[in-house]
Amino acid sequence: MLTTILIANRGEIACRVAATARRMGIRTVAVYSDADAQALHVRHCDAAVHIGGSAAADSYLRGDAIIAAAQASGAQAVHPGYGFLSENADFAQACLDAGLVFIGPPPDAIRAMGLKAQSKELMGRAGVPLVPGYHGADQDAALLQREADRIGYPVLIKASAGGGGKGMRVVDAAGDFAAALASCQREAVSSFGNSAVLIEKYVQRPRHIEIQVFGDSHGNYLHLFERDCSVQRRHQKVLEEAPAPGMTQALRAQMGAAAVAAARAVGYVGAGTVEFIVEQTGYDQPESMQFFFMEMNTRLQVEHPVTEAITGLDLVEWQLRVASGEPLPLRQEQLQINGHAIEARICAEDPEKNFLPAVGPLAVFRIPDCSRFTVGAVRMDSGVGAGDRISPFYDPMLAKLIVHGRTRDEALARLDAALAQVHIAGLATNVQFLRRVVASSAFAGAALDTALITRETAQLFGQDALGVQRAVASAVARLLRDERALESADPFSRRDGWQSHGETLRRLDWVYADATLTTMLRYGHDGSVTLQMDDESHALQVEQGDAPFALCIRCGTQEWRADVDWLDGVAHVFTPQGAGSIRRADPLAQHQAEVLHGGLNAPMPGKVLQMVVQVCERVVAGQTLALMEAMKMEHSIRAPFAGVVAELFYASGEQVAEGAALIRLEPSDSAPGTA
The residue ranges of every structural domain in the chain are 4-103, 132-201, 204-337, 339-463, 468-585, 599-667
pLDDT tens sequence across 168-223: 899 999 999 999 999 999 988 888 888 999 998 888 789 999 999 999 999 999 99
Of the residues 207, 299, 470, 664, only one is catalytic, namely: 299
Identify the DSSP state of 602: -
Do 465 and 572 contact (CB within 8 A), yes or no? no
379 among known catalytic residues: no
- CA 251, 257, 259, 260: dihedral to nearest 10 degrees? 160
Check if CATH label 2.40.50.100 holds for domain 599-667.
Answer: yes
Q: 132-201 in CATH: which number?
A: 3.30.1490.20
**Domain pair 204-337 / 339-463, same fold:** yes
Beta strands in 219-301 (DSSP E): 221-233, 236-242, 270-279, 290-297
Residue count of the chain: 675
Contacts of 233 (CB under 8 A, 6+ apart): 351, 355, 453
Residue 135 pLDDT > 90: no
CB 20 within 8 A of CB 38: no
How does residue 673 score in pLDDT terms, banded at 50, 70 and 90? very low
Q: What whole-number distance in Å separates Cα of residue 593 and Cα of residue 575? A: 33
The CATH label, of 3.30.470.20, 3.50.50.60, 3.40.50.2000, 3.40.190.290, for the domain at 204-337 is 3.30.470.20
Annotation: CATH topology of 4-103: Rossmann fold (3.40.50)
Evaluate if residue 592 carries a pLDDT over 80: no
The pLDDT tens digits of the residues spanning 386-395 come to 999 998 899 9
193 vs 498, higher pLDDT: 193
The 10s digit of each residue's pLDDT in 1-50 is 999 999 999 999 999 999 999 999 999 999 999 999 999 999 999 999 99
Whole-structure pTM value = 0.82
Which CATH number is associated with domain 468-585? 3.30.700.30
Cβ atoms of 545 and 556 closer than 8 Å = no
Q: How many angstroms separate the CA atoms of 657 and 365, rounded?
A: 25
pLDDT of res. 497? 53
Burial of 563 (0-12, 13-18, 19+ CB in 10 A): buried
521 pLDDT higher than 90: yes
- d(CA 47, CA 474) in angstroms, rounded, equals 45
In the chain, % of residues over pLDDT 90: 71
CB 377 within 8 Å of CB 432:
no
**pLDDT at residue 488 tops 70:** no
Which 3-state string (H, E, C) describes 292-357?
EEEEEECCCCCCHHHHHHHHCCCHHHHHHHHHCCCCCCCCHHHCCCCCEEEEEEEECEEHHHCCEE
Domain 339-463 classification at class level: alpha beta
CA proximity to 237, closest of 151, 316, 333, 305: 305
For the ranges 98-107, 114-123, 326-335, 508-517, the lowest mean pLDDT is seen at 114-123
In this prediction, residue 274 carries a pLDDT of 96
pLDDT, the chain, mean? 90
